[in-house]
Amino acid sequence: MVAGRSGVATVAKFDPSGMPVRIAAEVKGFEVERRIDKKLARRLDVFAQYAMFAADEALADAGLSPLAGPNGEGDERLGVYVGTGIGGLQEIVNGSRLFDQHGWKGLSPFFIPRALTNLAGGQIAIRYGAQGPALCVTTACATGNHAIGEAWRAIQNDDADVIIAGGCEAAVSAVGLAGFMVMRALSKRNDDPATASRPFDKDRDGFVMGEGAGILVLEEYEHARARGASIYAEIVGYALNNDAYHDTAPSPGGAGAARCMRLALRSARLSPGDIDYINAHGTSTPQNDVSETAAVKTVFGEHAYKLAMTSTKGVTGHLLGAAGGVEAVASVMAIKTGIVPPTANLFEADPECDLDYVPREARESRPRTVLSNSFGFGGVNASLVFRAV
């Protein structure tokens, strides 16, 4: 992200020949056996495999691994809030094909567990003996932010000391790509995939599908301090709402997004001038980028031109339900390292997108307070506020 190096390339998971869109940001070199044994891996769709990998990495980084597994004592103060926008899409496609060919006998006994959206979090809970609160959020592209925000609320309510939270997605499949393609939502820059995702650029022509998982370990502050945890940042605000306007388009002028950001600031007890950096939803679609820019100007006024606002989707593509989790990682790392990642592939800004998007090169700016936005189909919005500790 800091290098602005794109992960977008020609699709390798299947042959996209003949499709108008043939590019995506796929996870490359994924070796499931590195962390998950073959027997368990067969029970999991790829979205759940990604989530388990990311959870393993997050818990190890937090100094909480290994924890009690299914053969040890569970922990009623440990929860799992991991969501996905689409879940086992390819598993459903495969199961339907097998059913058509062979009838009910063609289905695997793992068909339903692989397809269910909550099994990513469920398998993480089994792996670590997490007997505390559990929730699978499915709110399209706002999923990751909603999962993290609701986990934060659960800890505030003293329902848990630690919650594994975030989003995962593995919808890069022929049907998944085609579904967004027929909506005319995707970039068609097949000949130049590395620059296909162009948030806020005047020549953007749609988003690029991505996949993966972004997981945080959320922990009650005094609990973390007592065990000497290394803390990246503190969540101080969260809000969610709905445009109540259209199934796929944002409300005019980004009105719903603006309300959500205002609510997040109120939740954090901060004023607009306290925000140093916004990790934007910034999908690289004509409507979203203009709408989000307008919403930020509505909320922040003149301060909108003083803060940095970037979209990391130029590098990662749009991870759908995993976007909020990955972008939460980007937000806390910006606080921890003092480096704001750039908006990759921003060559010439759209005239209606006139803020400081940190084009193409990262910036050392030491942001102390970061707002991270995620917006999704159905008009769902979610904003998180992170602050340096």
Cis geometry, peptide bond prior to residue 66 (ω within 30 degrees of 0): yes
List strand residue ranges (DSSP E) for the chain, in order: 9-10, 23-24, 78-84, 134-135, 162-169, 212-219, 234-242, 277-279, 308-310, 339-340, 363-364, 369-376, 380-387
Active-site pick, 141, 168, 260, 353:
141
Can you give the pTM of this predicted structure? Answer: 0.97
Neighbouring-strand partners of residue 385? 237, 371
Gap between the terminal Cα atoms of the chain: 23
Distance between CA atoms of residues 290 and 273, nearest Å: 22
pLDDT at position 66 = 67
Active-site pick, 136, 168, 260, 318:
318
pLDDT at position 73 = 72
DSSP state of 87: -
Residue 141 designated active-site: yes
Structural tokens at position 107: 């289905």
pLDDT at position 199 = 98
pLDDT at position 70 = 53
DSSP state of 374: E
Of the candidates 343, 85, 387, 360, the one whose C-alpha atom is nearest the C-alpha of residue 209 is: 85
Active-site pick, 136, 146, 260, 281:
281
Q: Please report the domains of the chain, with CATH numbers, ordered by start residue.
A: 9-197+204-226 (3.40.47.10), 234-387 (3.40.47.10)
Of the candidates 317, 311, 324, the one whose C-alpha atom is nearest the C-alpha of residue 356 is: 311
Please, what's the largest Cα pairwise distance for the chain?
64
Residue 223 designated active-site: no
Distance between CA atoms of residues 94 and 226, nearest Å: 48
Neighbouring residues of 205: CB distance < 8 A, sequence distance ≥ 6: 187, 188, 189, 198, 286
Q: 275 with 300: CB under 8 angstroms?
A: yes
Q: 172 with 186: CB under 8 angstroms?
A: no
pLDDT at position 71 = 57
Structural tokens at position 275: 């925000």
Residue type, 90: Q
Distance between CA atoms of residues 335 and 389, nearest Å: 9
pLDDT < 70 positions in the chain: 66-72
